[in-house]
Amino acid sequence: MNSTAALAWFARHEIRLAWREWLAMMTGSRGRRKRAIIALIVFAAVMHLPAYAVIGRFADLELPLGKPELIVITATIFLAWALMLSQAIESVTRVFYARADLDLIMSSPANLANVFSVRIVAIALSVTGMALLLSTPFVDVLVIGGGIRWLSAFGVVMAVGLTAAAVAIAITVLLFRLIGPSRTRLVAQILAAIIGAGFVIALQVAAILSYGTLSRFAVLTSDAAAVYAPALDSPLWWPARAAIGDGAVLSLLLAGGLVLLGAVMAIFSPRFAGTVVSVTATAPPARRAPGATAFRGGSRQQALRAKEFLLLRRDPWLISQSLMQLLYLVPPALMLWRSFSESSNAIVLITPVIVMAAGQLAGGLAWLTISGEDAADLVTTAPLPPSRVTRAKVEVVLIVIAAIFAPLIAALAFASVTQAAVTALGVVIATISAAAIQLWFRVQAKRSQFRRRQTSSRLATFAEAFCSIGWAATAALAVTIPVAAAISGAMTVMILAATWKISPRRD
Amino acid sequence: MQSAVSALEVRGLTKRFDRPAVDALDLTVRTGEFYALLGPNGAGKTTTLRMVAGLLRPDAGSVSILGVDALANPVAAKQIMAWVSDEPMIYDKLTPLEYLEFVAGLWGIDPAVSAPAAQALLASLGLEPHLHERCEGFSKGMRQKVALAGALVHDPRLIILDEPLTGLDALSARHVKGLLGERVRSGCTVIMTTHILEVAERMADRIGVIAAGRLVAEGTLTELRQQNGRNDTSLEDMFIALVDTEAAAA
């Protein structure tokens, strides 16, 4: 096999692996694949409705654009780029750490620079492919409303995907060199979380500080933004112009993306092998715990809770996820702080944000404590009834959620005791709902499978999300329109009841 | 050191997946003996032991552990036994000492007793230099030793081990065998599955051979030889002959 044929063969292998990994991630087991694909198609179709609500009003835009429109479109594209960068960093670290075929590849007589070039292209393709898929409802809405010139938005998504993959590879390899392989994984995960959420949060923080609103559009469409923005012929607006149908600029962007990716491949592919060797050859440093040798006393449940707290504290995934949840809480916290000095109705928005964040975090925590049990045999053979094990684990979830959200709710109480009480109740109910769903759909798994937790039950994932949204809406309505809150609450209870009815644990 | 009450008494134990995995099995293990359960892959050894340990619910039958009905009163049965699987299940983010502290806490052992016992156990298994290191960097053998120490730290009266020597080097295997031998001499009962027939031959007081979910032979090595009709044959030859006969009959 000559080198071109070998490259093509390896590219096919990579594409097949990426496709199967994606399919497994989206659909879980083979038996449910057909149903899951139908559900995905239905979901994509339904997504056109929120896409229309968010982006439909931009469909009539024509070139030349004014600064406010250019700023909004450019910021939206930058947000997509930040999210793709976050996804790409995660993909690159997975290639280094999680692929089981690295030993085989490294011990083969293949040209490693070529092999890793293909792998870099595969990362770029998978990131871009996912972005194309997610952007399709939005571009569809624009094409239907504004004509086929909007199809060029797909080209912008591709250019953005290529550059995001190139930058992600450069960042990750540089991290390896700066802080070493053992710390790179955690730092990359945290970086990915911050990059993904950071831009939106920064805009919200600016909006709160300047205009007292959570809407990021307040900053983007402000006069101040227009004054400080570069001139209309600046290359900064190229992505926006390309998206709206400027073919020449689109060609330049695509060419730029390809050149950047090619440069990254030329610079980093030959070093990729060395980096992989340093990851696989360097055993994780023996991390030592404090040298205490005395054991703590207490009940069996206390032993279980202590173990869960210790494992949660030492879980890098949870740290990055919690950090993201906490980042999302920064804008409402700022809003709260502002409301102490100025009377504002916008403070009501804090309640659904807190309840939603609590529900989502509780879902992850409940999975880690209830399903993600690495020593399942040990806990099952321990002399205590399963109900007590479950209770201890649910208590851990409640305690962690209370520790994170209590300070915020306490601060809220200074602004409005009633709203604080409603928020606290919403947090408790959302947490218990998330834990209950995890219990009903429990599938024993390793904690390291946390990233794929949603594949064990797509239904549980959707139920968890809908319940979080439902309780957040109910709490918000309870503060403003109590009658509507009763209806929203009843609907959420019905979702929960339907989830229980179809759950495998019902019997 | 044997008493009237059997360490394990299994009657009519049955478990069916897509085919019968354990088929109305009767098995008795006396108190204070080292019992080796042998059988080819898929014979039903692990399924049997998982049902005894309370990890799997049988379709039918009874399990009695030192006189305690394990199906009616699982908590009391679990208090006096320990289970070690062939795939060591421990927490990567805990140190061996933290793991043993957790196990001792689960079994409700007084920390004043369990802390020194844990250190002594880990030292006897050669893990003293790693007491405060997280298990995430441990080899499979080291992880297996941590799991074994966890099973012994609460001083169980019945220890059930599924292929405990898998992945251990010769020295570690000797440590483990020594530790199990000591426990048996102090009155504890050990039931172990193994594919290393030499271990069964050298350590077991009695050997049971299971095939297609049923016990096809049982006894001391001498009794098995007598049943097989050849006094000079090795356990390996007898095992292969028994399994072949069963396969032919099936």
> Number of H helices and number of E strands within chain B?
9, 10
Residue A282 has pLDDT above 60, yes or no: no
Predicted pLDDT at B140? 85
pLDDT per residue as tens digits for the range A110-134: 777 777 788 888 888 888 888 888 8
For chain B, residues classed under CATH 3.40.50.300 are 8-44+63-80+157-250
At position A316, the amino acid (one-letter code) is: P
A387: nearest CA partner in chain B: B75
- With both helix axes pointing from N to C terminus, report the angle between A247-281 and A67-97 in degrees, rounded to the nearest 10: 30
Residue A48 has pLDDT above 90, yes or no: no
A378 → closest Cβ in B89, B98, B108: B89
β partners of residue B190: B34, B159
Question: How far is Cα B199 from Cα A491, in angstroms, rounded to an integer?
Answer: 63
Q: Name, in order, each residue with C-beta under 8 angstroms of A196's C-beta and a sequence gap of 6 or more.
A: A82, A83, A86, A87, A324
pLDDT band at B1 (very low <50, low <70, confident <90, very high): very low
Average of pLDDT values for A28-56? 73
Look up the pTM and report it. 0.72
ipTM of the complex: 0.83
Set of chain A residues whose Cβ sits within 8 Å of the Cβ of B96: none
Q: What values do phi and psi take at B87, rounded to 5? A: -105, 105
Question: How far is Cα A85 from Cα A131, in angstroms, rounded to an integer?
Answer: 11
A379–B106: do the CB atoms touch at under 8 Å? yes
User: Measured between CB atoms, does A311 come within 8 Å of chain B?
Assistant: yes
Average of pLDDT values for B165-192? 88
Torsion of CA A356, A358, A364, A366, to 10 degrees: -130
Q: Name, in order, each residue with C-beta under 8 angstroms of A48's C-beta and a sequence gap of 6 or more.
A: A137, A140, A141
Residue ranges of A 345-374 with Cβ closer than 8 A to chain B: 374
Q: What values do phi and psi take at A65, rounded to 5? A: -100, 155
User: Measured between CB atoms, does B57 come within 8 Å of chain A?
Assistant: no
User: Measured between CB atoms, does A316 come within 8 Å of chain B?
Assistant: no
| Residue of A304, A378, A393, A448 for testing the chain B interface, max B β-carbons within 10 Å | A378
| Residue of A282, A293, A295 for testing the chain B interface, max B β-carbons within 10 Å | A295
Set of chain A residues whose Cβ sits within 8 Å of the Cβ of B142: none
- Do residues B204 and B56 touch, judged by C-beta distance below 8 A? no
CB contacts < 8 A (A, B): 118
pLDDT band at A99 (very low <50, low <70, confident <90, very high): low
At position B213, the amino acid (one-letter code) is: G
- How many CB atoms sit inside 10 A of residue B26's CB? 13
Residue A25 has pLDDT above 70, yes or no: no
pLDDT per residue as tens digits for the range B112-134: 999 999 999 999 888 989 988 88
Average of pLDDT values for A338-344? 57
At position A240, the amino acid (one-letter code) is: A
Most confident of A49-58, A266-275, A439-448, B173-182: B173-182
Question: How far is Cα A203 from Cα A196, in angstroms, rounded to an integer?
Answer: 13
Chain position carrying tokens 């802080």: A179
- The pLDDT mean for chain B works out to 88
Pairing of strands B34-38, B206-211: parallel
Pairwise pLDDT comparison (B190 vs A199), residue with the higher score? B190
Set of chain B residues whose Cβ sits within 8 Å of the Cβ of A306: 102, 105
Predicted pLDDT at B13? 94
CATH top class, domain B8-44+63-80+157-250: alpha beta
Predicted pLDDT at B62? 95
B91 → closest Cβ in A296, A300, A375: A375
Residue ranges of B 134-173 with Cβ closer than 8 A to chain A: 134, 136-137, 150
Distance from CA of A446 to the nearest CA of B (A): 10
Predicted pLDDT at B121? 92
pLDDT per residue as tens digits for the range B146-160: 999 999 999 999 999
- Do residues B209 and B217 touch, judged by C-beta distance below 8 A? yes
User: Measured between CB atoms, does B103 come within 8 Å of chain A?
Assistant: yes
A289: nearest CA partner in chain B: B132
Distance from CA of B40 to the nearest CA of A (A): 23
User: Measured between CB atoms, does B119 come within 8 Å of chain A?
Assistant: yes
- Collapsing DSSP to helix, strand or coil, A249 comes out as helix
Largest Cα separation within chain B, whole Å, is 56
Start-to-end C-alpha separation, chain B: 39
Pairwise pLDDT comparison (B79 vs B234), residue with the higher score? B79
Distance from CA of A185 to the nearest CA of B (A): 15
Set of chain A residues whose Cβ sits within 8 Å of the Cβ of B133: 286-289
A315: nearest CA partner in chain B: B93
Pairing of strands B8-16, B20-29: antiparallel
- Do residues A499 and A437 touch, judged by C-beta distance below 8 A? yes
Beta strands in A179-326 (DSSP E): none
Angle B239-B243-B248 from CA coordinates, rounded to 5° = 150
Predicted pLDDT at A414? 86
- Do residues B114 and B153 touch, judged by C-beta distance below 8 A? yes
Q: Name, in order, each residue with C-beta under 8 angstroms of A431's C-beta and a sequence gap of 6 or more.
A: A358, A359, A362, A397, A398, A401
pLDDT band at A443 (very low <50, low <70, confident <90, very high): confident
Distance from CA of B216 to the nearest CA of A (A): 28
Residue A507 has pLDDT above 60, yes or no: no
Question: How far is Cα A52 from Cα B79, in angstroms, rounded to an integer?
Answer: 61
